[in-house]
Structure 1
Amino acid sequence: MPLASTGELVTRAAAARSAVASFNIITLEHVEAVVAGAESVNAPVVLQVSENAVGFHRGRLLPLARAAVAAAESATVPVALHLDHVRSETLLRQAPEAGFSSVMYDASRLPYEANLAATRAAVRWAHARGLWIEAELGRIGGKDGRDGPAGPPPDAHAPGARTDPDEARAFVAGSGVDALAVAVGSAHAMTTRTAALDHTLLRRLSGVLDVPLVLHGSSGVPDGELAAAVAGGIAKVNVGTALNIAMTAAIREFLGAHPEAVDPRRYLAAGREAMAGTVAAFVRVLAPGAAGGPASA
């Protein structure tokens, strides 16, 4: 089917008090696994390409983006493309022609006023081209768990970091963004699902903001916490590390059992299947009406 719009998927999810699962892709196997997992539970999904993933592909966006577009157009469920954590103006400007309907513009390393100004300018440019824009306050996902250097706001997902509701309301109003990623206790690159979210703060943020809320770093959030976050106002949930954990574990297991294997199709197939199962499991939690989810069990 035709490419879906991230904004439309998230808006519908917010109205239904559910959330769209958005998965970061790195390889073609990631793309195929996300689509297969979403199809298995008959639910829409967002394929996300981060600036880091583009860097892994030697700075070239189009090869992975075109594979994602082709997979989306042959899918039996709505699939949208989202460009994630974009700091490069050059990369931002490639988004429309590459098939992306949305961008998470990341100026969070800048002090608040500079972040606001840069995000406002990006929003103007993007909206003129039909792009839906997500942003954040502070840096989401501190992969090393540390605060940023003096000057910028602390890492939005460092221990104890939280989004201030009043500042968030001013930022959304001043920038014109379509969605805001909020810091309520998750962290990027977690390999254990032990994060505890601040649901009281999330309800406050949901009450003062008139745009959909996004949760980054969701791989480390247990199912119950994710379900409560969706009930509290989260409408888009980003997942990346969980796919890589599933893929790596399956490949290790396969190669351990088949040390003679040299054909990558054999072990990549195992990794792809494991990722598809992970996708389906997350979608069932975030969209209870999905096949096999609580509402259809």
Structure 2
Amino acid sequence: MTLVNTRELMDQAAAAGVGQGAFNVIHLETIEGLVSGAEQAGLPVILQISENCAKYHGGIEPLAAATLAIARQSTAPVAVHLDHAEDEQLALQAVDLGFGSIMYDGAHLEYSENVAATQRVVKYAHAAGVYVEAELGKVGGKDGAHAPGVLTDPDEAVSFVAATGVDALAVAVGSSHAMTERSAALNLERIAALKAALDVPLVLHGSSGVSDANIVAAIAAGMTKINVSTHLNGFFTRAVREYLDANPTVVDSRKYLSAGRKALVPEVARLLALFAGHAG
């Protein structure tokens, strides 16, 4: 139990043909709620800190220290991951801070530039035993795009993985970041084609916009790491709003933040069980 390397969790999930939940940290209460959910489920979890989250907190180090400390104290296996780093230096910093894995996102670059930048990050990370995820084929979100035109090409993916040496690949298969409705239609045939072509695990970003049934089908087709953020943020925020509506005179932020933290636990446990094939 306690803090584990991401590679261990990903290898286990890939070998078993199940999904591994990876959930985004926003602040301390999120970390605590996510870990409590993993402990309730008795299943491992990957905690993710995004580049945007690091910017919100004025830097990654304080939140990283809290995340790693809580992971070490957990009775569930917990890995810590840097999510969507477009800044190479931030990716290297996360390696130095003790993250088990990093995602370098060079999908905004031209292909050759993406390969070169990812190669640099992989070399640095692998020297420290850190697992590296990259992205190929733009996953929508900022513009709401989840159309066939942005799907990852299997042949290009094979070339990219061979050139960079990445350990996992986030692919565009129909999902989109920051969706608040679970209406995205994943291209299961493309997932299966990517799985057949590659020897590294596939990562699904934008899973908040995908239904339970579609996620389960995606895992069956070949997805391993399932990223969720917006969906869980909704549980936290709704609980805070309900508490404040019921207690309009409260001024102690611990009271309403604890309501949000508590609301995460059962949904985190449910999602981890669903992804791992343990759902009832």
TM class, shorter-chain normalised? over 0.9
The whole-number CA distance in structure 2 between the counterparts of 1:225 and 1:178 is 25
Identify which range, 159-168 or 258-267, moves more after superposition. 159-168
Asked if the contact 2:37–2:268 (Cα under 8 Å) also holds between the matched residues in 1, the reply is yes
The whole-number CA distance in structure 2 between the counterparts of 1:256 and 1:136 is 41
**How many angstroms does 1:141 deviate by?**
3.4
Q: Report SS of the residue matched to 2:3.
A: coil
- Specify the alignment match of 1:246 in structure 2: 235
- Specify the alignment match of 2:196 in structure 1: 207
> Cα RMSD (Å) of the superposition?
1.3
Equivalent positions of 1:261-272 (< 5 A) are 261-272=250-261
- Specify the alignment match of 1:23 in structure 2: 23
**How many angstroms does 1:140 deviate by?**
2.1
**Which 5+ residue runs of structure 1 have no aligned equivalent?**
147-156
Asked if the contact 1:242–1:278 (Cα under 8 Å) also holds between the matched residues in 2, the reply is no
Equivalent positions of 1:225-244 (< 5 A) are 225-244=214-233
**How many angstroms does 1:159 deviate by?**
6.4
Amino acid across the alignment from 1:21: G
Equivalent positions of 1:48-59 (< 5 A) are 48-58=48-58
Amino acid across the alignment from 1:119: T
Greater fraction helix:
2
Residue 170 of structure 1: which of 137, 156, 159 is its match? 159
Asked if the contact 2:7–2:131 (Cα under 8 Å) also holds between the matched residues in 1, the reply is yes
Amino acid across the alignment from 1:50: S
Amino acid across the alignment from 1:39: E
Residue deviations 1:42-97 (CA, integer Å, cap 9, x gap) = 00000000000000001x21111111111111111100000011122221221133
2:179 is the counterpart of 1:190? yes
Amino acid across the alignment from 2:88: E
- Specify the alignment match of 1:275 in structure 2: 264
Pairs aligned (count): 280
Percent identity of the aligned residues?
53
Asked if the contact 2:2–2:76 (Cα under 8 Å) also holds between the matched residues in 1, the reply is no
- Specify the alignment match of 1:151 in structure 2: none
Residue deviations 1:88-121 (CA, integer Å, cap 9, x gap) = 2221221133220100001111111111111112
Q: Report SS of the residue matched to 2:150.
A: coil
Asked if the contact 1:248–1:271 (Cα under 8 Å) also holds between the matched residues in 2, the reply is yes
Amino acid across the alignment from 2:62: P
TM, length-normalised to structure 2: 0.96
- Specify the alignment match of 2:205 in structure 1: 216
- Specify the alignment match of 2:128 in structure 1: 129
The whole-number CA distance in structure 2 between the counterparts of 1:139 and 1:160 is 9
Amino acid across the alignment from 2:108: R
